[in-house]
Chain A
């Protein structure tokens, strides 16, 4: 799932997949503005067939946090990747 998420993020942020590190976050990536954030949220929702609440959306500020929320949300997600 981690690699799939990184690939998705590389598309949204127009960056090479290799540059999406495990520490990739709003603090480290200047590309991660509000618009790209929402594009990422929608891309994740479509890719992983999940839906985030307005409150969750604003908490998805790092690849670690996104992974945590995704794993929490769907125990079956592992099968997806």
Chain B
């Protein structure tokens, strides 16, 4: 029995799609060639050395383990380095296949962004002594407190949080003339970080953003830009079984002087779309605290917390992330709030239905 770890080629696509259909029956996106090509072939990763950035462990002409990755550049303390984010890690159980493909990736990339970990993945990474953040911070706001309170069946003692949020959001009603929508990034947006306490972030140039948010199959993200080159990305998601919607802000890279106008613009879009809840996930506490001035609050402020899944409505328990930078295999503290890591850094903001 000989094992072979390699990246896939276009010849492997039918076999990979068959395997994904079996492994991820509830995830139609991963069973589509358009999505597969977008995720693993078309990503604009720096120095990509393969046709597809998907590692497989092949055994007796079968794929028994997978690990996908997106090569990237990131900046920390003004130094730019190469790294990757991972996605679609799977092995069929025993025999070390999962660790074998992981090890291959670790040789390729010294810096790894691990977003949206399952309990087992988190346990494995923890044993590698990789710093984990069990719950990616999330901020929530509502333009319609009454509807959200009814939906969540919140008691009157909890409603004041939502009322306060709606009031603050509604305050930002100035005409957002400075904010423009764009259908595509024609030039690189603001490359310096607009947040004073953030030292690390994945570099998002026009090619990366167009790939991540514009060219992705089956998703419709909306992009707004400010006059300083900043931008925000969001999408609207219908709440299953209800006439209301949720607005997910995926990126907030807006300079502070345009924040109020950007919120006013997005809130206007939200009201027109019958949105009753808006949210944003980010490691950078500074960004969330800034959004709190416009009516956002931590999702754990209410009991029960505002669910983070809307198709159907339920709570995932949070998104676990890890950041694996040298020195490897040494227990160490990592201040995640020094990083801007959003839901957009991984493949977890994926519409399944």
Contacts and interface: CB of A to CB of B under 8 A. Distances in A.
B95 A32 contact: yes
Nearest to A53: B329
Contacts of A53: 329
B96 A61 contact: yes
B107 interface: yes
A32 B17 CA distance: 28
Contacts of B128: 38, 54
Contacts of A51: 329
A27 B124 contact: no
A52 B106 CA distance: 14
B99 A34 contact: yes
B44 interface: no
A35 B94 contact: no
B96 A26 contact: yes
Nearest to A30: B94
A61 B95 CA distance: 8
Contacts of B97: 34
A74 interface: no
Nearest to B328: A54
A53 B329 CA distance: 7
A35 B98 CA distance: 10
Chain B: interface secondary structure? helix
Interface residues of A, number: 22
Interface residues of B, number: 21
Contacts of B106: 54-55
B103 A55 contact: yes
Interface string A44-71: 0000000111110110010000000000
Contacts of A52: 329
A45 B188 CA distance: 47
Interface in B81-110: 91, 93-100, 102-103, 106-107
A33 B124 CA distance: 11
B108 to A, nearest CB: 11
A73 B328 CA distance: 19
Nearest to A31: B94
Nearest to B126: A38
Interface centre among A27, A41, A58 (most CB of B within 10 A): A58
Contacts of B127: 35, 38-39, 41-42
Given A54-B103, A54-B328, A58-B103, A35 B95 contact: no
A6 interface: no
A29 B106 CA distance: 26
23 contacts: A26-B96, A27-B95, A30-B94, A32-B94, A32-B96, A33-B93, A34-B96, A34-B120, A35-B123, A35-B124, A35-B127, A38-B123, A39-B127, A51-B329, A53-B329, A54-B107, A54-B128, A54-B328, A55-B107, A57-B99, A58-B99, A58-B100, A61-B96
Interface of B: 1, 91, 93-100, 102-103, 106-107, 120, 123-124, 127-128, 328-329
